[in-house]
Amino acid sequence: DIQMTQSPSTLSASVGDRVTITCRASQGISSALAWYQQKPGKAPKLLIYKASSLESGVPSRFSGSGSGTEFTLTISSLQPDDFATYYCQQYNSYTWTFGQGTKVEIK
């Protein structure tokens, strides 16, 4: 099974900061990677798919990059609405695996 490892687990940042979250796959997954944002008590929301494609309606300050085993989610200028937990997810032949999550907190 493919394992996904995110780092860091928690990130403290201020409004306006550039934030980067890393996700590593235990084996190559090409670009089969998505990023989700989740706020407390709410369902996850799709941000990025196919490693770097921005979901419709998602602000352009969010971007994704990478392929193979290493991926990043970048928030170019952190906004108050962005404090949340972020998950990466690989999708491969009818199995889906999430990373353990990265909580972005107010510094």
Residues that bind other proteins (CB under 8 A): 1, 32, 34, 36, 38, 42-46, 49-50, 55, 87, 89, 91, 93-101
DSSP character for 60? T
User: With respect to other proteins, which residue has the nearer C-beta, 19 or 89?
Assistant: 89
User: With respect to other proteins, which residue has the nearer C-beta, 2 or 13?
Assistant: 2
Burial-class residue 16 by CB neighbours within 10 Å (0-12, 13-18, 19+): exposed
User: With respect to other proteins, which residue has the nearer C-beta, 17 or 83?
Assistant: 83
Sheet bearing 70-75, strands edge to edge: 4-7, 19-25, 70-75, 62-67
CB of 62 to other proteins, least distance (A): 15
CB of 35 to other proteins, least distance (A): 9
Helix (H, G, I), strand (E, B) or coil at 101: coil
Between CA 79 and CA 97 the distance in angstroms is 28
CB of 83 to other proteins, least distance (A): 17
Q: Closest by alpha carbon to 35, among 1, 11, 2, 58?
A: 58
CB of 4 to other proteins, least distance (A): 10
User: With respect to other proteins, which residue has the nearer C-beta, 83 or 91?
Assistant: 91
